[in-house]
Amino acid sequence: MRRPFIAGNWKMNLDRASIGAFCAALRDNPAPSGVRVGVFPPSVYLAEVVAALAATDVVVGAQTCHSERSGAFTGEIAASMVKDVGASHVILGHSERRHVFGESDGDVRLRMTAALAAGLDVILCVGETIAQREAGATAQVVLGQLDAGLAGLEPATVTDRVTVAYEPVWAIGTGHTATPDQAQDVHAQIRARVAHGYGSDVADKLIIQYGGSVKPANVSELMACPDVDGALVGGASLDPNSFDALLRFES
């Protein structure tokens, strides 16, 4: 059985007061016990969120980290720093990192290595643009990003420390959610690819989140897909009530 994993990617949103209130709501109103919950605040608030949620099971992570351990990389944060403030996870390869900040598959791979070496677990994001989908290149793009991100990892690392998030770029922040059939189709291909590379034991345990305009109104139908094991949520994760509703999807 794969434990559902619902994570909020707060991106560059919220402030100290609203994050404090959000953490209080998470403490006061825990998710159903079968559901794993994660929040990914802006990095300046990481330490505060770790402290505020210390008595809960909520996973706290960063939205990215750099591949180098230290040095002259103005504005960047190292994986060891994320770990040092008590966070356990990092999102890597998010479409905004790839498309707004120009991260290549090679960059994502280096960041994967650094994050895992520092002791962080990773949510590896993959997803095609609308042009790629319309050109029939969805599988090629998504599986290529997956291969690049996982290259060289031990099977146990993939099983225990990596979550994959399928996030079609055309669905992120647009209100155009993938249909359950579209999500299931790509999730099944991701799982098959991991089975091919790492064996069916690893693939069967892999948590694959869907991301892209997930809301309380559509989370249940997405979560009902056999290969959708969770959600990585942007906009609908910014309000505590909406996030709470996501955690209580109908199963």
Burial of 6: CB neighbours in 10 Å, binned 0-12, 13-18, 19+ = buried
The verdict on whether 94 is a catalytic residue reads yes
Report the candidate in 222, 224, 187, 221 with the shortest Cα–Cα distance to residue 207.
187
Question: In angstroms, what is the minimal distance from the CB of 213 to ligand PGA?
Answer: 4
Using rule CB under 6 A, residue 184 touches ligand PGA? no
Q: Does 214 bind ligand PGA (CB under 6 A)?
A: yes
From residue 88, give the alpha-carbon distance in Å to each of 3, 148, 183.
18, 22, 27
Cα separation, 121 vs 7, whole angstroms: 13
- Residue of 94, 96, 128, 187 with catalytic role: 94
Three-class SS state of 116? helix
Question: Does the protein bind ligand PGA through residue 211 (CB under 6 A)?
Answer: yes
**187 assigned to active site:** no
SS3 78: strand
Tell which positions 136-175 bind ligand PGA, by CB under 6 A.
167, 172-173
Cβ-closest position to ligand PGA? 234
Q: Shortest Cβ distance from residue 62 to ligand PGA (Å)?
A: 14
* Nearest residue (CB) to ligand PGA, 94 versus 202: 94
Q: 96, 103, 128, 167: which one is catalytic?
A: 167
**Which residue, among 40, 31, 35, 32, has the nearest Cα to 13 in the 3D structure?**
40
* Contact criterion met (CB below 8 Å) for 138 and 132: yes
* Residue 75, phi-psi category: left (phi > 0), alpha (psi -120 to 50), beta (remainder): left
Binding residues among 225-244 for ligand PGA as defined by CB under 6 A: 232-236
CB of 147 to ligand PGA, least distance (A): 21
Indicate the residue among 38 and 235 with the shorter CB distance to ligand PGA.
Answer: 235
The alpha-carbon radius of gyration of the chain (Å, integer) is: 17
Interface size with ligand PGA, residues (CB under 6 A): 13
As measured in angstroms, the least distance from the Cβ of 193 to ligand PGA is: 21
Catalytic residues: 94, 167
Residues at the contact surface with ligand PGA, assessed by CB under 6 A: 9, 167, 172-173, 211-214, 232-236
